[in-house]
Amino acid sequence: MNTHIVTPGPYRATKLWNEVTRLFRAGMPLRKHRQNFRHHASCFTASAAVDWLHQLLQSNSNFGPDVTRQQTVQLLKKFLKNHVIEDVKGRWGTEDLEDNQVLYRFPSTSPLKPIPCPAPAQGSRTIRKRPSLRDREGFFKFRNLKKQDKEPTENVDPAGQTPRDEASEPTEEQQPQRRELTAEDEEEIWRDVTLTHLQRILDVASLHEVLDQRCINPQNIIHNMTKVNKHGVVTLDDKSSDLPHWVLSAMKSLANWPKYDSDQPSYPGFERDVFKTVSDYFYSLPQPLLTYELYELFINVLGVLRPQCERVAVEALQLCTLLLPPASRRKLQLLMRMMSRISQNVDMPALHPAIGTRTLMVHTFSGCVLSSAEECDLDELLATRLLSFLMDHQQSILSVPDYLLTAIRDHIQYLRSIQVPVDSGPNAGRSDPVCVPMPVYAFCKQISGAEFEQQKAEASQKAMEELLEILLTDQNINEKDRRKKLKQFQKQYPDIYRRRFPPAAAQSKADNKPKIKPPLLNIRRNKTFSIRS
């Protein structure tokens, strides 16, 4: 079956809907059925559709193995509502679908949803596509700018001497001073560095396709990266936006069950009541923890949630969660910690008679973590997959990326250290901002595999040549060890040794050595031993 991964981009949820619809219509087995003394050709039962679609979703890299049978039934209900399928009498829309033997078929009309052409948001800032940047500590290294302009050739005299421009000499009125960065300047740096790295990870031409940058508050990024406690959890300046005390107490009780509070009630089913209390609170929040504004961004991050791209997905989510309001990020951190602790607690009684604890955690809280402002047909499936990945990697995703924090601070420090002249001319009193050249980023240039192998070989050759020179010149090596190491080097790297000591030169060197007379070489003093006393 021709299946492919839906890459990041605008309207990704609609593209996923169309992809699942296409696969379902192309692969669902159809056959002849008899119902109520009538034969119906090219149809299928609801249970058969659930079986086939459930297996498809679990094996599809866009969704994953966490999809449940009940979620598949819900998706088929939405198929019936949107006329992807209809019953054998041609009814759809208001009809209901259950996991039973009722017959359904595909309509003749196309059920695919149209994908609108995305238009750039008015007034939004787009970030230009840049080459690949180094990961981690190598990201955003700075180097000084070169001189921008050379002296005009007409100012050079016939003798080749450039006349001194007296106006260029610094005077008392024109002395260099350090660039003063405003708070707005620094906030812009925090935002731009973070979004530029996020754009590279998602590999999109412009972030405005998946994110309305007018909704990004750089103060949220600064707060989430600098105001954390020793456990890495965000601290809030406004305590009124924090979790209520009774919710925190309930979450701690579940996370540390049964050792949290010896005075807690012990009636059967108490832990289920506490769990329901916590879930009810999170569903009572005015919007999901990942916010409606960032919904499209997180949906696109799902495009990199593949086993071979696990590290990339972790980095992408790490940056996306930095864009959240601090109160939402703190709630998400505490919820993920509670879910992880409960799932790993072997002493926790079963919270549901038929569903495992981990599955229950994911399907209970998926809706309060990710959902769209307008109902999306695939919200539940997408949220389940994202929350499952968050649970498995919550410690890394919800931590502060040190490499990014260092890069931003180095960038700000660099701009503060730039010297710019003060204009003492007639416009000296103007309050126009002084233009300061931005540092040039050192990017990695993508090369072909053949070029990489060639550079690797050249670098290795150069390193071995340097090692040979060290063996020849190091004064701390005695001559015996030096000769021994040189012989080993000659055996292991004959080509490099031959270039350093060509055969002709070696022969000439041997010819210039003083020759020792043969008799002297043959003199041996042999001791004779006698068996007589």
The pLDDT value given to residue 474:
78
Q: 251 lies in a domain?
A: yes
Which of 81, 105, 129 terminates a domain? The answer is 105
CB 374 within 8 A of CB 368: no
Note the pLDDT tens digit of each residue in 466-514: 778 887 887 778 888 888 888 888 888 888 888 888 876 555 555 555 5
Q: Are residues 395 and 470 in the same domain?
A: no
Q: 196 lies in a domain?
A: no
Please check the confidence at residue 404 and state whether its pLDDT lies above 70.
Answer: yes
Q: Are residues 300 and 368 in the same domain?
A: yes
CB 104 within 8 A of CB 46: yes
The pLDDT value given to residue 151:
43
Q: For the residues 362-385, what does the mean pLDDT come to?
A: 88
CB 103 within 8 A of CB 88: yes
Q: 341 lies in a domain?
A: yes
* Confidence category of residue 453, pLDDT binned at 50, 70, 90: low
Q: Of all residues in the chain, what percent are helix, strand and coil, respectively (each to 5)?
A: 50, 5, 45
Rounded Cα–Cα distance for residues 238 and 483 (Å)? 73
Q: For the residues 198-203, what does the mean pLDDT come to?
A: 86
- Size of the chain, expressed as the number of residues it contains: 533
Q: Are residues 466 and 342 in the same domain?
A: no
The pLDDT value given to residue 117:
59
Class of residue 526 by CB neighbours under 10 A (exposed 0-12, middle 13-18, buried 19+):
exposed
Please check the confidence at residue 450 and state whether its pLDDT lies above 80.
Answer: no
Q: For the residues 128-143, what does the mean pLDDT come to?
A: 38
Q: Are residues 367 and 259 in the same domain?
A: yes
Note the pLDDT tens digit of each residue in 38-62: 889 999 999 999 999 999 998 888 8
Note the pLDDT tens digit of each residue in 290-319: 999 999 899 988 887 776 678 889 999 999
Q: Token pair 């919550």 is at which residue?
A: 394
Note the pLDDT tens digit of each residue in 260-270: 555 666 678 88
Q: 91 lies in a domain?
A: yes
- Rounded mean pLDDT of the chain? 78
Domain that holds residue 260: 229-399
* Confidence category of residue 259, pLDDT binned at 50, 70, 90: confident
Which range is least confidently modeled, 61-70, 192-201, 219-228, 378-387? 61-70
Q: 119 lies in a domain?
A: no
Rounded Cα–Cα distance for residues 392 and 374 (Å)? 28
pTM: predicted TM-score of the whole model, two decimal places? 0.65
Task: Report the CATH number at residue 21.
Answer: 1.10.10.10
Structurally, how many domains does the chain consist of? 3
Q: Are residues 345 and 483 in the same domain?
A: no
Task: Report the CATH number at residue 340.
Answer: 1.10.555.10
Q: How many Å is the Cα radius of gyration of the chain?
A: 36
Please check the confidence at residue 163 and state whether its pLDDT lies above 70.
Answer: no
Token digits for 240? 């009124």
Q: How far apart are the first and last CA of the chain?
A: 100
Please check the confidence at residue 134 and state whether its pLDDT lies above 80.
Answer: no
The pLDDT value given to residue 186:
92
Higher pLDDT, 154 or 8: 8
Q: 113 lies in a domain?
A: no
Q: For the residues 247-264, what does the mean pLDDT come to?
A: 81
Closest to 79 (Cα-Cα) out of 43, 123, 49: 49
- Return the SS3 of 44: strand
Note the pLDDT tens digit of each residue in 91-122: 898 878 999 999 999 998 877 888 765 554 44
Q: Are residues 474 and 349 in the same domain?
A: no
Concatenating the DSSP letter of every residue in 408-465 gives HHHHHHHHHH-EEEPP-STTTT--PPPP-PPPEE-PPPP--HHHHHHHHHHHHHHHHH
Q: For the residues 241-245, what does the mean pLDDT come to?
A: 94
